[in-house]
Structure 1
Amino acid sequence: MSDSDLFDRFALARRPLGLSYATFFDLRWVLVYHNSWAMCAVLLAGVIVLRGLFAAVLINLAWPAERPRPSFRQLSRRNLLYSTVAHLILLPWAAMAVIAADVSLAWFQFMEMAPLLILAPWLQRGGVVPRWWCGLPSVDLVGWSLLNFVILALGAVLVWSVPDVWTVPAAAVTGVANGLLWQRKVRAAVLPERVRWSRVPVVPLVVAVVLAPLFFLDEMEAGGARGAEQANAAIDRLPEFGDIQQTVIFLGGYDSDYRGDPEKAEPPVVRFSYRGTDGHGQPLPYSPADTHQSMPTSAHVLATQVERLHNRTGRPVALVGESEGALIARYYLERLRHPAVDSAVMLSHVLRAGRVYYPLPQADTGWGVATGWQLRAMFALIGVRATLRDDPEEPFIRSLLDEAPSYRNEMLCPVRDVRLIAILPLSDAIAVPAELNAEIPVVEVAGLHGQLLKQPRVLATVADHITGKPVPDQTRWDYSILERVAGAWQAPPLPLALNPPWHAEDQPDRALRQQPCPPT
């Protein structure tokens, strides 16, 4: 499959025609594919105008004969205004799609998709009737909106699943089905038996309610981190599942912490500390804030801990990394590996991270320049109540952006003289582009990100891999389906060769096409 074929497939899998979904589609492309403020302004104005006029044409064609049809001029004015409002309403969730494409986490993908699904029925009358922002949507409108979501998701599965020569026909079939839904949606908007609460501005209230959870995003993430930490406590049971001769270093994920429990500082399982080790080689306590440091910094801290631990014990070392810890372990193995490290397990592995970009704050140009400032403003507002807030410019996020070629190309590739395995939760499938293209064993498990170690079968798989027992691929059909369903709602990837700061003009791009790993 060529670069252009797969990029076309990305585009066709993301072409919803219902106006609220199409608006969302427009915004994701604008947020990723602009490299100056002027270009962003022109593209945004262009999609607002073109989407409004296109919607006016479709509504004009779908207007039911039972009601007098407004003039095309009236429909155009109505839809240009609605298109402007809809793009502004959906802008925060389009930005969430960009974050999801950078960190490749299901949490952000869910925070993008769920509000869109909730908002869609309330926006369906927009551009069709005056005062569309007042009153409740009819049962028919809610039903057609949900069916539209299902059709678009199934269309994405179809587009991703057919051979290349059938990609365009598959997209056309999806478009025909979506066009028929347009007709039913317009009819349901124009011909309701009656509109309940017709004088109440319901849509602004719904938008406010859907926006509210964003202000608790940091607290919800902190709660998830606490749940992951409780699940990760099970790593201490690892020796129960096999005769492990190595010293195992467990690397916790983002927002994890370690309080310096002496019982967890000695082999066979020790904790990795984001702050490093003391004079005796023991891991230092660290707080969630320490996990926000850059990936290269954490990898060098790991290198020191591995060397000191091996010198102290004389035993080979195995790494077990969870989420961010898996990224650190993989980065370390590629660049800083000590010869004593013979195996590694990557749990809840963050795959295909760094699919988008935005430049540093001092830059006036660069791909995603306006998007970067939108994200900084959003997360400053979201984190105003949080004791530890996420920051689009924190070193960890910045390293994902700056080292994108590594995270897109290397994460599922083998490393010479190291046995590698990735254990992936089913939930993360919605944040990963279809076709993993892995060249190491992959085990897909029903579970949530960061919660896998509480499953005994996962601990047994980790122990088998570390002790050298063969662990074959264990893939799930539903993982592949979820990848393809969610593909329609992910932000488009920025090609590596397009972004000069990546210096990747001659590198493969495994986020865009099936590409073999470089020889080890």
Structure 2
Amino acid sequence: MTTVAAAAEAGAMNGAGFLRTRAIAPQFAAIWPYGMFHDLRWVLVYHDSWFGFGIGLVCAVVVRGLFCAGCVALAWPTAIPRPPLRRLVGRSLLFAVFVAVILVPWATVSVVAAQFALAWFLFLELLPVPVLAPLVARGGIVPDWWRGLPTLRLAGWSLLTFAVLTVGGAAVAATPGWSVVATAGVVGAINGLLWRQLVHAALCQRPVHWRLVPVAPLVAVLVIGCLYAVDIASIRLSSKRTVPASSLPDLPAVPQTVIYLAGFNSAYPGDPAPPTGPVMRFSYRGVDADGRARPYGPVDTHQSVVDSARLLAGQVDRAHAATGRPVALVGESEGAMVVHYYLSRMRQPAVTSAVLTDPLVRAGRTYYPPPDAERGWGIGTGWLVRALLVVPGGAVPDDPDQPFLRSLLDNAPLYRNQLLCPVPGVSKIAFLPTIDTMTLPPQGQSAPQIPLVEVPGIHGQQTKRPVVQRAIGAFLNGQPPVHPQLHRYRRGRPDFFVAWQAPALPLKLNPVWRTQTGTDALFKPVACKL
């Protein structure tokens, strides 16, 4: 049963061209709560109306409840009398409702991670799954599953399932062509063995420690509370972050005039003295009559990428006219997205080099419409994201409908297909932190691409590190950005996080994207357009 289910989903996705999403196919046959987590991500991405959203959730609960009831019945040990099938179905359906309610916030975070390409969102999404899995593993099997602690044996089978789905997903993603059906079938068969062991462990657990304590509900609430606590702290830290003039990248002498674009929620208080080094600042409020960057606050970085790119175009023209030298752009995080949009849509010949640090690679893999829309792909998901903001601090930083984030969603084809592609006449390089490379899907493109340099660490503030500054300086001087702490990103290593990413929405399905491009690098191998 589990073998056929996993193989069938992998085959269907392979036939539809879901080259990357195939990795989640084995999760369809997985034990609680992994199977429901699989279902919710599909529903949150693939609905274009409130009716479709409601029907999708109902179908997810019913199909999951029936499937798991069947797995429990088949795995039931012969030495123990089995309840009537209708009772198992009832238990599984009620439990499916509970699991769906608990996991909806986390599945929403998964979709947000795909929308805005923030790797730390993916880790937040994964946090509750292995934590909750042992506590709810008895659900649908015994009536009092929600009370007491699981045994070490039961917890071990649940955590082993997480490892199997992670490694198995990487294997499925790496399997070419229709051979993926066999690979997914093998992982599905392992899921069947895990179902058997789980049911035996749940039925044979004696005694149940803390038998009267509702451990599972309490831990579920605690995990959600931890999410908000961590997020509130991160928002407060980011809101206090400023980027004074002294923190401009300290680059060696380079032949270009360098314009540095700071990232999201950065701020610049202004400086009465003009910059004396090779680097000048980009301001999200433009420059004054003397060509100096205007002071700006974090809220100014929330404007759309299009508006920021227009300001950049004006500053590039003025810098080139004032110095007579070519211009190099160094963009960090949001600044990298502005640089990419500028190079793609309005570049001037004055720009000869571009450095992207912490770019949001493959942003716009999913979608939700503006709040005034009556329908659109992910309409229910959009309101779930907004609902997370009801709790002070929210589970998504700032307003999910602010112009910057909306511009990422509306221009998704530009970022999904071309972000790491070369630009004619421009030397281009990207520096990616390790946490982002761990979730980076292969490009699936055959044309030459820009160099990718992996930097140990997490997202943000890479250009403040001396090792990165020296590498940028070497690149701008036409030398290899070589350093013992840095190395080129290796595309051939296993992608162990692909199975936990939300499925991508094809460009051709979304009317907002359909007219912007005829290819989709996430579904079909395409070459960079030079």
Contact 1:319 1:344 in 2 (8 A): yes
Query: Is residue 219 from structure 1 mapped to residue 227 from structure 2 by the alignment?
Result: no
Q: Quick one: distance in 2 between partners of 1:303 and 1:506? A: 24
Q: Quick one: distance in 1 between partners of 2:360 and 2:444? A: 12
Q: 16, 37, 51: which is aligned to 1:38?
A: 51
Structure 1 residues 357-366 or 453-462, which shifts more? Answer: 453-462
Q: Give, in angstroms, the shift of residue 428 of structure 1.
A: 0.7
Aligned to 1:191: 204
Distance verdict in 2 for CA 1:3–1:401, change over 3 Å: farther
**TM-score of the superposition, structure 2-length normalised?**
0.90
Query: Is residue 345 from structure 1 mapped to residue 358 from structure 2 by the alignment?
Result: no
Query: Is residue 441 from structure 1 mapped to residue 451 from structure 2 by the alignment?
Result: yes
User: What are the residue-to-residue correspondences of 1:78-477 with 2, within 5 Å?
Assistant: 78-216=91-229, 217-223=231-237, 235-239=248-252, 243-262=253-272, 265-383=275-393, 390-435=398-443, 437=445, 439-470=449-480, 474-477=487-490
Structure 1 unpaired stretches of 5+: none
Q: 491, 494, 497: which is aligned to 2:505?
A: 494
Q: What secondary structure, in the 3-state scheme, does the structure 2 residue paired with 1:381 have?
A: coil
Q: Quick one: distance in 1 between partners of 2:241 and 2:158? A: 35
Contact 1:430 1:487 in 2 (8 A): no
Distance verdict in 2 for CA 1:176–1:227, change over 3 Å: farther
Greater helix fraction, Structure 1 or Structure 2: 1
**TM-score of the superposition, structure 1-length normalised?**
0.92
Q: Quick one: distance in 2 between partners of 1:215 and 1:68? A: 44
Aligned to 2:7: none
Distance verdict in 2 for CA 1:21–1:228, change over 3 Å: farther
Distance verdict in 2 for CA 1:457–1:389, change over 3 Å: closer
Q: What secondary structure, in the 3-state scheme, does the structure 2 residue paired with 1:379 have?
A: coil
Q: Quick one: distance in 1 between partners of 2:236 and 2:424? A: 36
Q: What secondary structure, in the 3-state scheme, does the structure 2 residue paired with 1:319 have?
A: strand
Q: Quick one: distance in 1 between partners of 2:426 and 2:477? A: 13
Q: What secondary structure, in the 3-state scheme, does the structure 1 residue paired with 2:283 have?
A: coil
Q: How many residues align?
A: 510
Q: Quick one: distance in 2 between partners of 1:237 and 1:180? A: 57
Q: Quick one: distance in 1 between partners of 2:413 and 2:131? A: 35
Distance verdict in 2 for CA 1:102–1:510, change over 3 Å: same
Q: Quick one: distance in 2 between partners of 1:159 and 1:516? A: 23
Contact 1:441 1:471 in 2 (8 A): no
Q: Give, in angstroms, the shift of residue 4 of structure 1.
A: 4.1
Q: Give, in angstroms, the shift of residue 94 of structure 1.
A: 0.4
Q: Quick one: distance in 1 between partners of 2:355 and 2:331? A: 6
Q: What secondary structure, in the 3-state scheme, does the structure 2 residue paired with 1:27 have?
A: helix
Q: Give, in angstroms, the shift of residue 8 of structure 1.
A: 5.5
Contact 1:367 1:499 in 2 (8 A): yes
Q: 33, 39, 61: which is aligned to 1:20?
A: 33
Structure 2 unpaired stretches of 5+: 1-12
Distance verdict in 2 for CA 1:296–1:3, change over 3 Å: farther
Q: Give, in angstroms, the shift of residue 228 of structure 1.
A: 9.7
Q: What secondary structure, in the 3-state scheme, does the structure 2 residue paired with 1:360 have?
A: coil
* Identity over aligned pairs, percent: 45
Q: Quick one: distance in 2 between partners of 1:33 and 1:310? A: 47
Q: Quick one: distance in 2 between partners of 1:338 and 1:324? A: 20
Q: Quick one: distance in 1 between partners of 2:194 and 2:119? A: 29
Contact 1:218 1:390 in 2 (8 A): no
Q: Give, in angstroms, the shift of residue 321 of structure 1.
A: 0.7
Which residue identity does 1:415 align to in structure 2?
Answer: V
